[in-house]
A = this chain, B = another copy of it.
Amino acid sequence: MSEAIVPSDNLFSAETYFATQPPPPSLDHDTSRVREFIQRHAKEGKKVVLVTSGGTTVPLELNVVRFLDNFSAGTRGATSAEYFLKAGYAVIFMHRQFSLQPFSRHYSHSTHPFLDFLDVSPEDTDGHEVSVTASERPQLLEVLTAYKDAHQQGTLHTLTFVTVNDYLWLLRAVSQEMAVLGRNALFYLAAAVSDFFLPRQKMSVHKIQSGKGSLHIEMDQVPKILKPLVEVWTRGGFIVSFKLETDQELLIPKARGALARYGHQVVIGNELHRRKYEVVFVSKQHEKAVTESSEDPDPSSQYEESWIRIDLDKDPNKEIEEEINKSCNGIWVNHL
């Protein structure tokens, strides 16, 4: 790998990125396993959804002690994956190591530890027994049954990443494999992917020492991966991306900007503090509607927005991902 091919202006195209940054060691193994999964479902004419979930890291050292990370527990992706399975799709769940996963997400060790609802019964002739607290049994039975079903039917395939480099290589490989699905492929890109990275050529080998005063970091932009995904890797796949902002005012303009730039189908916008009860679907208007209003000088009329809001005061157990998935399914089926 030559340093000469790293662009001097810090702007990596996807092509330069993959030519200069090394693939993760497990890529070939992961790719061949996901290929089997996709081809099995392609044969049956089944729809396959790729859900990406959790944050990506940017290591600062080759022997990594410190890294930049993106805020995400993986709730959106893990919850959505469950609803996609429930709707009858096969799901590739590509997630950050240790982020939430479908099914086990109900039993976070921090908020709902399973050890709390297991009881040790007094010793009888067979020794002590472990039993489940009665009040927890109905939910556990439901989760456990859905979990066992997904495993028995082979409808859930899990892949993990840690760094943004893992993520980019894996996304490319999986989407290239998904090309055989044609229009039966849905990309649901909920992972919180870093916009910046540190090229391998600029990383320090060992832990950065703190004796030398303040720490300076300069990072390059991660290539906009949606562009080759839409234009090259997929064949008619339906692509839903996410925009997370902390400034509500930026949601719609940034979502429209992404649709204009990449030409995919839907951006789901969410504001950091409202994301559990409010999101907005932004998409291009149907072509007919655009033609009718083509005299309209306002380019914003090309886009339509549709808000989803739920009332957590009324129904605290409601999950907004249920509504997001219904809308996704509706738009996708309309599009086919």
Using CB atoms and an 8 Å cutoff, list the residues of chain A in contact with chain B. 10-11, 57, 61, 63-71, 73, 97-98, 101, 103-104, 107-110, 113-115, 118, 120, 128, 130, 132, 137, 140-141, 143-145, 147-148, 160, 192, 194-196, 205-207, 210, 213-221, 244-247, 272-273
Cβ of A219: which chain B residues have Cβ within 8 Å of it? Answer: 214-217
**Knowing that A65-B272, A101-B110 are A-B contacts, what are 12 other residue pairs whose CB atoms are under 8 Å apart, sorted by A's residue number?**
A65-B246, A66-B69, A67-B71, A68-B68, A69-B69, A104-B115, A107-B109, A115-B144, A118-B144, A196-B210, A196-B214, A207-B245
Tell me, in angstroms, the Cα distance from A97 to B196 when the chains sit together. Answer: 25
From B65, B107, B120, B244, A244 is in contact (CB under 8 Å) with B65
A sample of 20 cross-chain residue pairs with beta-carbon separation below 8 angstroms, ordered by A number, consists of A57-B69, A64-B71, A65-B70, A67-B68, A67-B69, A67-B71, A73-B98, A97-B110, A98-B109, A114-B114, A118-B140, A196-B215, A206-B245, A206-B246, A206-B247, A207-B246, A207-B247, A207-B272, A214-B218, A214-B219
The residue among A71, A97, A219 with the most chain B CB atoms within 10 A of its own CB is A71
Given contacts A10-B214, A114-B107, A195-B210, contact A246 B130 (CB under 8 A): no
Tell me, in angstroms, the Cα distance from A273 to B97 when the chains sit together. Answer: 19
* Nearest B residue to A107, CB-CB: B114
* Nearest B residue to A145, CB-CB: B120
Cβ of A114: which chain B residues have Cβ within 8 Å of it? Answer: 104, 107, 114
